[in-house]
Structure 1
């Protein structure tokens, strides 16, 4: 067991302003001595306001007029329990640096309290419950549901947003989790693997690179405890000779660094019992968080080594809320609220807070907007940054929950800045679902034992109620843990009506029927067929001279990827996105491979053609 003395710290996080009258305005005296005359004082105030607000045209547009690099650092299963959002239990200097030099967004919410549906929302810009991506997961636990494995099938015009970036010249890499509720077409990424990295792009090519950190995943709380070995690859990102041990292979606890003291004063939420077991699980949560911060530091070091730090927009966020019982899988804020920090080039708006509501469906249009690509009209989110940013911030965010592994519920939520409305479509069913995966968490097992022994208090027992009201309403400003249902309080009937009406509007707009059984959903996605639809293979059409080809597929909405392999047989790593009606020139002796794939369909058969040399 190793204790890292440099990592153990519980000091309060402070945003350090880059604004200094002495350094930025040329004054050497203290601020008080600057005020010699009224006009001097007014000049100082105006200059400081300009600097603090960052409102010069040059500052606002300098990183938006070009194609900036974009880096995503994505945690798993993490609520905003980091210093920039008020919780200094774990020492996270790299995340703190991003916050000091960037903007904090405290009001980011996932569309679901679990990963796969949330990731579907992020990558498509569509609400999962409107495209068949709402059940967790579409291809697992089928032996218990007695349903066929399937994939979400969005409308034919929906594509992964990374394709638009690639068409705009970006190199896209994903390291490495996908989990979109459908197979990603080969056209989605230049590379998606445990070794994917911006360093594999062409020289000076703009990039969009994603690094996923599994160290904070719920499974990191299972016993025996220890850091996941494969996560060490982040320290050597860009290298392809790193030996991988397997997704869940771990160090022993004795081999695992202690980055947070085990007897720290952990904040125990009221819905969990304050016991040694809970505190040990909380220690794991924060210890894993501190290790993730070190891995993030390794990625940031690589960015600086490559001279790219000031030409890259850096996002840090999590795929949904925390991993503990009554957090993950639920549509309370404990399961939906994710930390978001964005660090812009030139420390734009450094240390500031933007409290606008943001949904995961907003990420796709925002990324395209930052890259100078106009977001397609079908996207259900709105850009909150960049050239195509919406002029008005969101009024509401929306969320859903349906099947979770082997068990099903159906709940929908709408939230504004202060209130959340929840509609329960199975009120006869209790809140708690005995999901086998979750019951590997020691705290969950202890809670069940305490429930059966009558040792949980009234707040902790709320989760184990045997039925639900049809509607719930919470004042999140005064009741952040969502424990006091206000539905029957006459003072809140106007708000209840407003949010209920908004939910009806949203459900209609996205085509979500929360009462639809999953079996009928599959039939709808498959257009009444008894098996998953398949993409037609690409057809090859030649020009008159035979020196170029066109590609075509009869499957509406399918993307076509192709590779041109020269006569020496060196095959490119990435598939190129085919643009409709464009001829592909062929040199004698070259080979073309092509594959078509519509999201949610079985990929088409790969076709191959080799041009012959004239005799």
Structure 2
């Protein structure tokens, strides 16, 4: 899978020096393209034959496609907060849960870039805040010189201003752009704003790929086709920015990352610890700084992005960061930076506490709310796809894969061989042939929880939506008094230990 760039073999040692010895050359520009609610295998370069992503596919062909990249949370704001601080969700304070702020003392990596002379901009979905400073505390420094929501009439996908931001940037500074779309978050608006001249033909329901845990019916296929349309719109605007960078003559000096904050907003994806929710596409493109191209099967976590960017920019990495720089992976396809990747499932519309650890082949899931189903967030529950599964449930026609959407009680420990069971449908926990693997990963997960200050509070944030309909519950029925976020009782936001890696 490894293909050295034609004509650049003689430059490989120089490139390695450039990446490994920051400060020896002008710092690179950096752009994050972050999709909203898109699963890892819904890009063409990851094997999806139906979803059109030609621009991302070209970046992958001429860069590195990471095949073992994992999120720390399959939930919008906790995931984004984790990326920007380089920390696990429970180590970010209240931000472990949806729509909650990051503890104010924790630095964001764009702050450090800005202080180092970068022009920084956020265009599109933000979804990150800090707590108000307490007595004796200072507020966070400005992270972004420019912020806009990326929406205009005819394009509410969050990507409408990316080209303008790229064109109007100061030309005498390196830049960092956090380009975050709302595509493909429900409810779908891409269908009504479709520009066939730009995006190509609308996706046909007959062509979509229906995973085994969904119902293969007209309503679900239409739902997936609308989702694919938003994935394609995200891809199109990446291509617009790439062409502008090429026109400006700075594409080769710009490190691009393409990823998503969590899995698709369908049953058994978003908020799940399984790969359909927690695995992310991750494409890196940087002609002047990547020494090889192809597919990498090395394990990475999105908390590794922050130290990577600061490393190549020549900035000091804060002691609060728990991730590790990916620079060695950009130099050498055989390099490795971690043995394990960890993920969390905390409150997102519904009470939950789940933890996961991966070693590259096996996924072990730990669940402390076994009586509750993992049906997905409220927007997914309200979807046609989920409601079609409910109809099958009521008529007793669910397959085993589909029934997992409603399963309760759930196992406290589950073990999956992701290599031979890509959809994680067969629980190997308690199986004698895998007893050693289970024991090892349980020990690793327990050590990680202990060293990073994770905990299971006596009372977690309760459900705020109905689990059957996805409708909001009356406030009078919600008892949140005394609820705590994971790790809050142990002061986990003050703990910088990364745990095993």
| TM-score greater than 0.5 by the shorter chain | yes
Distance 1:71 1:88 in 2: 27
Three-state SS of the structure 1 residue aligned to 2:87 is coil
Per-residue displacement from partner, 1:19-47 (whole Å, max 9, x unpaired)? 66xxx5xxxxxxxxxxxxxxxxxxxxxxx
> How far off its partner does 1:368 sit?
0.5
Residue in structure 2 matched with residue 227 of structure 1 by the alignment? 190
Residue in structure 2 matched with residue 206 of structure 1 by the alignment? 174
2:201 aligns with one of 259, 275, 287 = 259
1:343 aligns with one of 282, 285, 299 = 285
Distance 2:374 2:382 in 1: 19
Per-residue displacement from partner, 1:378-433 (whole Å, max 9, x unpaired)? 3111111179999752111111112112x211111111111111111011223326
Larger RCO (CA within 8 A; separation ≥ 6): 2
Distance 2:299 2:142 in 1: 32
Residue in structure 2 matched with residue 477 of structure 1 by the alignment? 419
Three-state SS of the structure 2 residue aligned to 1:345 is coil
Q: Is the Cα contact below 8 Å between 1:372 and 1:387 reproduced in 2?
A: no
Kindly indicate whether residue 360 of structure 2 is the aligned counterpart of residue 417 of structure 1: yes
Kindly indicate whether residue 5 of structure 2 is the aligned counterpart of residue 61 of structure 1: no
1:108 aligns with one of 37, 51, 69 = 69
Residue in structure 1 matched with residue 373 of structure 2 by the alignment? 430
Kindly indicate whether residue 215 of structure 2 is the aligned counterpart of residue 215 of structure 1: no
Kindly indicate whether residue 357 of structure 2 is the aligned counterpart of residue 357 of structure 1: no
Per-residue displacement from partner, 1:413-463 (whole Å, max 9, x unpaired)? 111111111111011223326x43223321111111221121211221122
> How far off its partner does 1:17 sit?
5.8
Distance 1:354 1:387 in 2: 8
Residue in structure 1 matched with residue 245 of structure 2 by the alignment? 303
Structure 1: stretches of 5+ with no match in the other structure:
1-14, 25-49, 140-150, 221-225, 229-249, 529-555, 557-615
Residue in structure 2 matched with residue 521 of structure 1 by the alignment? 484
Query: 475-484 or 273-282: which moved more?
Result: 273-282
Answer 1 or 2: which has greater strand percent.
1
> How far off its partner does 1:469 sit?
1.5
> How far off its partner does 1:281 sit?
1.6
Distance verdict in 2 for CA 1:73–1:388, change over 3 Å:
closer
1:382 aligns with one of 283, 299, 324 = 324
Query: 326-335 or 207-216: which moved more?
Result: 207-216
What's the TM-score once normalised by structure 2's chain length?
A: 0.80
Three-state SS of the structure 2 residue aligned to 1:468 is coil
Q: Is the Cα contact below 8 Å between 1:321 and 1:336 reproduced in 2?
A: yes
Residue in structure 2 matched with residue 493 of structure 1 by the alignment? 435
Kindly indicate whether residue 103 of structure 2 is the aligned counterpart of residue 153 of structure 1: yes
Residue in structure 2 matched with residue 77 of structure 1 by the alignment? 37
> How far off its partner does 1:254 sit?
11
Three-state SS of the structure 2 residue aligned to 1:404 is coil
Kindly indicate whether residue 53 of structure 2 is the aligned counterpart of residue 92 of structure 1: yes
From the CA coordinates, give the structure whose radius of gyration is larger.
1
Q: Is the Cα contact below 8 Å between 1:370 and 1:387 reproduced in 2?
A: no
Distance 2:52 2:2 in 1: 16
Residue-pair matches, total: 444
> How far off its partner does 1:132 sit?
2.3
What's the TM-score once normalised by structure 1's chain length?
A: 0.66
Three-state SS of the structure 1 residue aligned to 2:66 is strand
RMSD: 3.2
Residue in structure 2 matched with residue 608 of structure 1 by the alignment? none
Matching of residues 442-481 of structure 1 within 5 Å: 442-481=384-423
Distance 2:54 2:75 in 1: 27
Distance verdict in 2 for CA 1:482–1:523, change over 3 Å:
closer
Three-state SS of the structure 1 residue aligned to 2:443 is helix
Three-state SS of the structure 1 residue aligned to 2:45 is helix
Structure 2: stretches of 5+ with no match in the other structure:
132-138, 150-160, 461-481, 495-501
Residue in structure 2 matched with residue 172 of structure 1 by the alignment? 120
2:83 aligns with one of 118, 122, 127 = 122
Residue in structure 2 matched with residue 404 of structure 1 by the alignment? 348
Distance 1:364 1:440 in 2: 35
Residue in structure 2 matched with residue 271 of structure 1 by the alignment? 213
Query: 63-72 or 192-201: which moved more?
Result: 192-201
Q: Is the Cα contact below 8 Å between 2:36 and 2:261 reproduced in 1?
A: yes
